Amino acid sequence: MDNLKSLVFVGTEGIYHDHDGNGKYLTDLLNQTENVDADFSQDYDILSSGLNAYESILFYTDVGELTSEQENELLKYIESGGGFFGLHTAAASFRESEGYHGMLNGFFNGHSPYMDFTVNVTETEHPITVGLADFDVKDELYYLIHNPDTSTHLMSAYDDTKDETHVMAFYHIYGKGRVFYFALGHDMEVLGNPAFQDVIRRGVLWTGNRI
């Protein structure tokens, strides 16, 4: 079987993350993964004309705007079987695009202070999490507007600043496409975490129908 073709799509409109540097790091990480070939892009035109070259796309975006054509083509791509992996600020992106957030089932609603916390693996039989133990990270703990009945949760984290537990990773099917969201990813502190990297690799392979 040919290698999985994956796209890392990065938006740079946000000011609190190094999307360019972090996105290139993630692209290199995926290119070091067996059976994956990853491209990096910041060109919004690819959303309306170039997605069919890929089996899975990873969005590491922030703020930004999608045209109607870009949003429609993205959703059509996923509905027809393309894989979508939303990472961290993907939930804070394209805030006027209701179709995008309906597909993702996640909308950014704030976060904890940048802090140490534990990510708990709550579903251990899924290909993304099988064999993955709970792990400690330093990151922002995201709060999402999210319908828990629409997706299956894979990970959660307890926020002791609010005495609340929040979902950190979930998946669902959108049309014929696989959708996965992972809330971590603020900076190199967490991007270098081996457990985080395992989830990135597996998330791309799963959304691309390879595991």
Whole-structure pTM value: 0.97
DSSP collapsed to 3 states, the chain: CCCEEEEEEECCCCCCCCHHHHHHHHHHHHHCCCCEEEEEECCCHHHHHCHHHCCEEEEECCECCCCHHHHHHHHHHHHCCCEEEEEHHHHHECCCCHHHHHHHCCEEEEECCCEEEEEEECCCCCCCCCCCCCEEEEECCEEEECCCCCCEEEEEEEECCCCEEEEEEEEEEECCEEEEEECCCCCHHHHCCHHHHHHHHHHHHHHCCCC
The pLDDT value recorded for residue 19 is 87
Residue ranges of domains in the chain: 4-207
The pLDDT value recorded for residue 1 is 83
How confident is the model over 137-176, as pLDDT tens digits?
999 999 999 999 999 999 999 999 999 999 999 999 999 9
Domain 4-207, classified CATH 3.40.50.880, yes or no: yes
Question: Which residues of the chain are modeled with pLDDT < 50?
Answer: none
